[in-house]
Every structure is written in C-alpha cells, then in structure tokens.
Chain A
Amino acid sequence: MEGLINAWPLDEAYIDYVVGQDNAGIINDPVAYPVINEELLISLNENGSETNIATGFHAIEFLLWGQDLSLTSAGQRPFTDYEIATGKNAVRRATYLQTATSLLVKQIATVQNAWNPADINSYGMKFSKQISQEALTKAFKGMSTLLTDELAGERMYTGYESQTQEDEHSCFSDNTHTDIIENIQGVIIVWTGDYNGQPSVGFDELVAPAMAQRVTRELKAALEAAQALPTPYDSLLVAPEGSDARKQLLDAILTVQDAGTAIKDAAESIGIALPTN
C-alpha cells in the first residue's frame, strides 16, 4: 500500500515525456497501454525497477508540475500539455492524472479506515491489543527510522552528497522544505500526543522526565533547523563546497538524525530494542 501512495524516487520517463525523450512513458505509448485505468497503474507501479513508479503523490506531482529544469522555480509544465488541440496525448495525460488522483484518494481512505476506532477488526484496533512490547517496538521504530534513515539519510543526505537537483524529495514542485517540516512535525505530534493545540497522552510520558525533555528538545531543534532552511530547497543542493548554505544543510541533516537517535535511546531506556538497531 505504501509503495502505491508514496514511492520515491520516481523515474519520470516511465510516466511521460522528458527533455530529450519526446515519446517516453506510459502516457505516450497507446500501443502497449491502450486503456489507462486503475488496474493498469497498479500493475505498472514498481514493475521491473524500484524507480518505475506509476502511482502516488510523486506521480501526481510530476503530472502537475513537470520536470524542474530551473534553480529558481519549480517545474513549469505548460497547461497546453492538457489541451486536446496542442498537447500530444493530452487526453491520455488527463486520464492518467485523474486516475492516479482518484486512486490516491481511495488509498488514503483505506489508511484512515485502518485506524477506525469503531471497527474492532481494523489494524489500529488490533494494534492497540498487541502486547505492549511489540506495539511499542513498532511505534518507536517508526518514529526513529523515519527521522534517521528515511528523512536525514535517504531524503536529505543523498541530495546533499550528489549535489544534484534530481535528488530533491519533491523535485517537481520544489515543495521539499514543506515535506521535511511536516515529517518532523508528524513525529512531534506522535511523541507528545498534542495535536492542533489539544494536549493528549504521548509516548513522552513512558520515559523518565529527563529523557522525555531531551527528545522533545532535539525534535524541536530539528524542526527549527528545517524551518530555517532557505527555499527553493534545490538551491541548497547545488550550493558550492564550503559555502554557508551547504554547511547549514548538513547541520540540519545531522540535527534531524540526532532527534531520531534520541528516540532510539528513549526506547532503549525502557527496555525496547529496535529490530534495526
């Protein structure tokens, strides 16, 4: 399910034309794929390669924004791509966009229903009945690995290392800074239990006060570091070696990694060893 919703990175030439390949992609291949529908897109997602992504957020992002060929703006897909008179395979492109979007809406509804408290067979309700060691391991692993390996590592450091725009997380819309901030914010919500100004029970209450304060402090530091990053994010990736911008990005990455490590340490402090550690 996650692979259909949020798989990344995406080889854009798998879906549609790119610079230098006018006829690339599923959209421009009516012979192999005469009918674009949900079944087709599901069957083609991650087919043959982990970057052959046909569905989800980033496929939709590419269909809306197009390739980002500029350091000062996001992708500039012309609206004429969707005009029958001017856009090659415009109808197929529109069908693709509508299909991928309705598929995403359905899948997100499935995720929401998986946590439906009224349904005793939902994943969330079964999860709450697991022995606490297992459930806590999953929860702490989720928070910790999202920050250390997924966010700091795959989504941020990879681009820092390669210094190329194409390794930006939301590389078509240049919305990466929002992704990063919201990822960290999401972990803060789970950790503290506080949502939209409403305080609630969080995982922070399971550990000693000093440990809880350390994790909260490090999460806030990560959030502040992410919020302070200049935009568009891809300008940071291509900043020259030794520049202040590059140093600021690396500092932010390490701060996010530290927050994830703090959560791992918090888990260990109550006898929970993460399977990845």
Chain B
Amino acid sequence: MRYRIVGMLLLFCGVLGALQQLPAEEVAEDLLLGGQATVFEKNSQAFSLPFPKLGGIERLQFQAGDALFTEAWVAAPASTAGRDGLGPLHITRACANCHLKDGRGAPPVDAQDEPTGLLVRLSSQEAHAYGDQIQNRAIPGAKPEASIQISWLERSVDLADGTKVSLRAPQLQLENLAYGPLPKDVLTSLRLAPPVHGLGLLEAVSPETILESADMDDHNQDGISGTPNYVFSQATQQTEIGRFGWKANQATLHDQDAGAFNGDMGLTTSLAPLENCSSLQTVWTDVPNGGHPEVEDKQFNLVVHYSRFIAVPARRDTDRPEVQAGRKLFFEAGCAACHRPTMTTRTDAAHRLLAQQKIWPYTDLLLHDMGPDLADHRPDGLANGREWRTPPLWGIGLTQEVNNRPFYLHDGRARTLEEAILWHGGEADGSREAYRTMPAEQRAQLLRFLKSL
C-alpha cells in the first residue's frame, strides 16, 4: 500500500522519469502498467475507468460511449429508435453482456444454458448458411442458427512434486441447426470475450515495434518464433498487422468494434454495412432493420472512443518479497519471451494521450504455436490451427475482483492461472515444464506475481 501511494504522488508531481532512479525495492519499474494511462482502482471498476488525463468533452464522450457499450439494443422498429436494429441473428444485445464489467466473458455455468461471452467461429471450403460464427439467438420471428452445447472433459496432470491439478477441456456440440446441416469439413473454434482495457495503447504500438520481437524462423534458436498475422482492414482499406483477437485477426479498434457489432449483435455500421445473414438465410428479407447503418457513425465513433481510452490498472503489492521473487521466476522460466513485458507506443499516435507511453502489457502481440492441446486446428488469416496470439497480462490479477469467477485462455477452460499455465504447450513447453517442476513455494511466488499485475 505504501508504495502504491508513493507511485501516485510521483504521478501527480509529473516526475515519471524519477521512477527509474528509485531503488528497485521501492517502486517496481512496471508499477504503471499503462504509463500515464494508469489508474489505481482495484475493485470491480478497475477495467472501466477513463485515462486519468482525459478531460473536458473527451471525458464526457467516454461516458457516452460507455452507455452505448452497456445499454441493450432492441429489435426494429422500436420506441427506442436510437438503439434499434438488433439481429435478426445475434448472440447478445449489449457489448457489456459479453465483456462483463469491461472484463472477460464466461462459459455457461450450467451446461443447459446458452453461452453469451463465449462464441463459436467456424469455417469451411463448402457452401453453407452459417457464415463465420454461430449466432445462437434471434429476434422474434427468426430462428437462432444453433444451440451451443459445451461439456467438459476433466483430466489430471501431475506436478513434479506429486501435486495433482485437474484440467478440463471443452467438448463442443452444435444442436438444433436451423439452416441445414454443417458441412463435412467444418472447422470450429471457441472464443471467450476478452477484457477491453488498454486496447487504445496496444493500437498505438507501431508495426515496427511489434516486429522487433518477431522471429518467424527462430533464427535465435530459442524455440520461440513470434509471427505476425496480417489482415485486411476495412477501416484503412489496406493490409495491416493484426493485433486484436485471440488470433490477432483484427488490425484496428474500428475493425474490431464493427466486427463485434455485426457478428455478435447483428448491427450494421458504415464499416460492416451488411447484416450478418448469409444469402442462404432468406427468411428475414422482410424483417425490418434499424436504419442504414443501424449504428450511426456518431454512435460508432463514441464506442471506439470508449474502447480506446479505457485505462489500465496499476500493479499492486510490488513491495512484497514473494511478488518480487515471482517476477524473477517469470523471467527465468522464459515466460517473458512471448509475454513481452514492455514496449513504447508510437510518437505519431491517433491522440496525444496515446503517444510515447512506456507500457507493460506483457504481450508481444504475435502468434505462437501453443501445442496440440490448445490447438483449434482452424486457420485464421495467417495464423495456423496451433497458433494463438499472446494475450496481454496487464490487469489479469484483478480478474477475480472484476468478474468474480475467472476463466482464462481462448475458450475459458482454465479456472485458475495455474491451470492456464499448465495448458501451455508448443513453444511454451519449456516454460510450462519450468513451472511444473518448481517447488510449491516458487509456484506460489510466480502466481503471486501474476496476481500483482
């Protein structure tokens, strides 16, 4: 607590540079995970706050964007004309229903429940009606594409000291298919809604900075081959380096937000002007829509503004010896090879508050082979079926505070950070083994470090 206050006072004195000159045990260099865009809240609001320096109209616009992120859209036509156009096919009615408290989604607790914050991507070479993701809900008069049933297969792994940890993997079943059978070659992939804090900072990292860590052919022979995904951006109308999503398949927040409005809520935007129904789903050619586009540019830009300026919570307990020991172990186990601790945002970012920030996201934004156990066997852009983008770790220690029941990894299979570590494979084999063979005290220290992020 004492050091947190020290950090805050320094922040206000505007002497950020002085942090480096303090002894390491006084203030951790990565205390301010989001640079000047760091807040010190550690309750359920921790992922929902604006950049501290966002002021005036821009701060008010953040709140207006938050309202659009939170409030439910309804089917057209409706008396709430500003927010109609939901569906006809959709997964949910509001952004915040999946990004709970701006944090992460959750698999259904009850197997009978239809998931909300966990979606199914699919692809096939054959013609089929379902597009690239399953919409498991629909407005009255239309049929949901399918019911998503998830069951879990539990298995036990042994740590080197004999401790047993139970891991579970999802088994996906698509039932009540309303628009014909699935093609035989269908590939599916479950995707958990990720937390949304700090995304504006990640967008402001230059491609050159991301590529510093890329090592596609593993020239340095450390077994780690960070690979960029390249995707076409509707926003910039050119191919860009991918940085958002579990497979880095979105390049900008405009693309990400338009994709989510369209795929998850059935709402059109200028960037995604067509309903998410395929030509084989003809039942709702006569279903009313909510205007062209349904999400007006002004509204859309407010949501992008919101997702751009959500601050990052500061680290906690950085003065504790077990946390400091855990941080050392994190580096020694090689975790930092993919969970790149720090980078600096570009000088010519879209907004002065996003520019030249030394941030500590603990991600390289690159794709890595995570081994057969995590593989979804479904290519996505340049990402192959074993590759996943390193997810940021900043704020991960507050998952419990924000989301009550935490779930980690792309499909929410991990119920604890320990389970998440033990699922790591492929390029992360060595790091996982390092954890598996640590004495209990060191494992606790490493987890304690993650909890401080």
A binding-site residues for B, Cβ under 8 Å = 9, 11, 13, 18-20, 48-51, 67, 69, 133, 148-149, 152-154, 157-158, 161-164, 166-167, 253-254, 257, 261, 268, 271, 273, 275-277
Contacts and interface: CB of A to CB of B under 8 A. Distances in A.
B14 to A, nearest CB: 12
A275 B40 contact: yes
B60 A273 contact: no
Contacts of B41: 275-276
Given A20-B77, A276-B41, A162 B12 contact: no
Given A51-B72, A149-B50, A276-B52, A161 B9 contact: no
B214 interface: no
Interface in B50-91: 50, 52, 55-57, 59-64, 66-67, 70-72, 74, 77-83
A74 to B, nearest CB: 15
B78 A153 contact: no
A257 B52 CA distance: 14
A158 B64 contact: yes
Contacts of B11: 273
A133 B1 CA distance: 11
Interface stretch (B20-28, B93-101, B364-372): B93-101
Contacts of B94: 49-51
Contact of B82 (A133, A166, A277): A166
A95 B95 CA distance: 33
Contact of B67 (A13, A18, A167): A167
B409 interface: no
B52 A157 contact: no
Contact of A157 (B5, B63, B82): B63
Contact of A18 (B5, B9, B79): B79
Given A161-B302, A273-B9, A273-B40, A153 B81 contact: no
B39 A275 contact: yes
A164 B82 contact: yes
B187 interface: no
18 contacts: A13-B74, A49-B72, A49-B96, A153-B59, A153-B64, A154-B63, A154-B67, A157-B61, A161-B60, A162-B82, A163-B82, A164-B82, A166-B80, A167-B82, A254-B57, A273-B11, A273-B40, A275-B42
Contact of A161 (B8, B59, B64): B64
Contacts of B81: 164
Contact of A51 (B12, B57, B70, B299): B70
B114 to A, nearest CB: 11
Contacts of B62: 153
A202 B302 CA distance: 38
A221 to B, nearest CB: 16
4 tightest A-B CB contacts, nearest first = A153-B63, A157-B60, A273-B8, A275-B40
A164 B60 contact: no
Contacts of A148: 59
Contacts of A276: 39-41, 49, 52
B52 A152 contact: no
Interface string B11-51: 11000000000000000000000000001111000000110
A67 B79 contact: yes
Given A149-B50, A161-B61, 9 more contacts: A19-B79, A20-B78, A20-B79, A48-B97, A49-B72, A148-B59, A153-B59, A153-B63, A166-B83
B333 to A, nearest CB: 32
Contact of B66 (A13, A49, A154): A154
